[in-house]
Amino acid sequence: MTLLKILINQLRMQNALLFHGGTLNEAQATSIALVKAGFIRIPRGYLNFLNLSDGLVWNGMELFSCTAHERAGTVFDHPTLVEYHVKYAKGLFFAKRLVLGRGTEFLICYDSASHCYELVARDSLKPMLKLPRFEDILFHIINV
Amino acid sequence: MTKDNKQDELNGADIFSDWENLIGSPTPSQKQEEEGLSLDNLMTDGGETYWLDELTKTNLSGMDLVALDLIPYYVHDFKAEYAQMKTQVHIFLLKLAYAYRNDLRVAGLSEDQIDELSKGLLPMNWTVHLKYPVAYGGTITAHNFVLMPHHPFHEELHHFINRQIVTDAGVMNPATLYVPTPKSAVYVPFASNEMPSKIIHFQTMGDAK
């Protein structure tokens, strides 16, 4: 069992909200939409995650999805990658970064310049932590 | 008069006429005033009035705009800050859930959401926001926290801050940052006027000070 599957099972046991895995077509369509909007493609590590669960919500952390997940009876819609970037990712900082999710005062990003996943402080937009794999970042958020 | 003196006089006259021209010519600010533009009107980016105006265009009702000065030479210790944030947020949520349960109900949180808070977990679409950034004198303690909905308010608040720190040259902290600040420890925009006094008390007195 891969580390990513172990972490997802761990989150499932902690009542995380998980979704059905996205299809390759959905991921491709999202990547194309992101590139057309001037952002970068979805990195491979995050595609592996989307294949298992198209987004995630747990303890104030949200990982963005390919397709929108509307939640009846609430004002809350789970944001998609494209929706988030078009609305909020403005400026040079986001040109080479893809925001994959958000947590309590941090963003989870992929930096295409260094090919690393990173936690970025929200108030200063400075990288707090850089790790090579998406599952490493997820492990750090859950367990450290 | 020698030739040299004549030359000096000519030069002096030239200088004088240049000086006169210089004094006579309107300065850039005078030009703007003549054209009906004052310096205040030109200060669109970075001025307090500009950001106050921008705040009214957002959904962040009931928040005050606070001007914060950058702490010079502040160096982040992200590892320590991250660890402290995790611990302090947990304590903050437990305090809210156990000591201010009735107030949270009034603020609009459901019983299930309050139960999650009592486990030290954040309910769906709720997050903890640091009111004053650390580089601008904020501390990672309960009196600097506010519980607020992720979408759209927390996102919009940070978008407001990002507009000040993301420049064409890159990301940099401005000397003065204008931060929208909620008044209480729980931000519920449409009920902010009816916020129970106890929650405000918790925020201002700050148990963890």
**pLDDT at res. A19:** 87
Query: B70 with B176: CB under 8 angstroms?
Result: yes
Contact residues, chain A, for B188 at CB < 8 Å: none
What is the tens place of the pLDDT at every residue in B6-19? 555 445 445 444 44
Mean pLDDT, residues B156-165: 90
Cα(A90)–Cα(A139) distance, integer angstroms: 29
Please give, one letter per residue, the 3-state secondary structure of chain B: CCHHHHHHHHHHHHHHHHHHHHHHCCCHHHHHHHCCCCHHHHCCCCCHHHHHHHHHCCCCCCCEEEEEECCCCCCCCHHHHHHHHHHHHHHHHHHHHHHCHHHHHHCCCCHHHHHHHHCCCCCCCEEEEECCCHHHCCCCCHHHEEEEEHHHHHHHHHHHHHHHHEECCEECCCCEEEEEECCCCECCHHHHHHCCHHHHHHHHHCCCC
Q: Who among A17, A79, A122 is closest to B158 (CB)?
A: A122
Yes or no: say if A125 and A89 are a contact pair by the CB < 8 Å rule: no
In the predicted model, is pLDDT for residue B205 greater than 70?
Answer: no
pLDDT of B200: 43
Say yes or no: A95 contacts chain B, CB-CB below 8 A.
no
Residue B26 vs residue A44, higher pLDDT? A44
- In chain A, which ranges are continuous DSSP H helix? 3-13, 24-36, 44-52, 81-88, 134-143
What's the pLDDT at B170? 79
* Per-residue confidence (pLDDT) for residue B151, from 0 to 100: 80
Find the closest chain A residue to B86 by CA distance.
A104
Q: What confidence score (pLDDT) does residue A77 get?
A: 67
Tell me the per-residue pLDDT of A99-110, one tens digit each, with 9 for 90 and over: 999 988 899 999
d(CA B73, nearest CA chain A) in Å: 14
Instruction: Give me the residue from B81, B121, B161 closest to A59, CB to CB.
Output: B121
Q: Confidence class of residue A42 from pLDDT cuts 50, 70 and 90? A: very high
The per-residue pLDDT for A138 is: 92
Tens digit of each residue's pLDDT (9 = 90 or more) over B87-132: 999 999 999 998 888 878 877 788 888 998 998 999 888 899 999 9
Q: In this complex, how many residue pairs, one in chain A and one in chain B, have their CB atoms less than 8 Å apart? A: 87
Calculate ∠ Cα B40-B43-B44, nearest 5°: 125
Enter the pTM of the model: 0.77
A3-143, CATH topology level = SMI1/KNR4-like (3.40.1580)
pLDDT bucket at B21, cuts 50 / 70 / 90: very low
d(C-alpha B112, C-alpha B74), whole Å: 41
3-state SS, residue A143: helix
Q: Which of residues 37-76 of A touch B (CB under 8 A)?
A: 57, 59-60, 62, 74, 76
Q: What pLDDT digit, counting tens, does each position of B39-66 carry?
A: 444 444 568 889 998 888 888 888 889 9
Residue ranges covered by each domain of chain A? 3-143
The answer to whether B171 and A125 are in contact (CB under 8 A) is: yes
Which candidate from B82, B124, B171 shows the least CB-CB separation from A125? B171
Measured between beta carbons, the chain B residues lying within 8 angstroms of A87 are 155
Mean pLDDT of A79-93: 84
Cβ of B122 within 8 Å of Cβ of A77? The answer is no
> What residue of B is the nearest CA neighbor of A17?
B124
pLDDT at B201: 40
pLDDT at B22 over 50: no
Q: How far apart are CA B39 and CA B86, in angstroms?
A: 46
- Look at residue B207 in the predicted model and tell me its pLDDT: 36
Q: What is the ipTM of this complex?
A: 0.85
Mean pLDDT for chain B overall = 74
Apex CA B148: angle with CA A87 and CA A58, to 5°?
80
Residue B27 pLDDT greater than 60, yes or no: no
